[in-house]
Amino acid sequence: MPTKNLTAETFESTVTATGIVLVDFWAAWCGPCRAFAPVFESASNRHRDVVFAKVDTEAEPELSAANRITSIPMLMVFRDGVLVYSQPGALPTPQLELLIQKARELDMDEVHRQLAQRTA
């Protein structure tokens, strides 16, 4: 599945959808972002049930600010509308594959329980 370009208008509906969503915050001038792009794109072709999305931080500065992006590339992983991973840095293929596997293995009932405990 090709990657989706997210905007302020499409971000929320994409990351709150059911399933796994990976979001790469990037910029054209960023060398590590350009190095990570083919890794991200290749993974999107292998994992067709996962949504792979990109946010151009130059084109979407308000969206970047709203998500507190201070370093790029920044990878966020959402599962069933819950942010489960957020770290800056380009990942090599094996680490990205492991991250996707771990997102698949999450017990979302337990994640929701932990979130409820934190907010209580």
Supply the residues annotated as catalytic.
Answer: 30, 33
Q: What residue has token string 């771990």?
A: 102
Torsion from C-alpha of 39, 43, 95, 27, nearest 10 degrees: 40
Instruction: Please check whether residue 6 is in contact with residue 54, taking contact to mean a CB–CB distance below 8 angstroms.
Output: yes
CA-based nearest residue to 104, from 12, 22, 42, 36 = 22
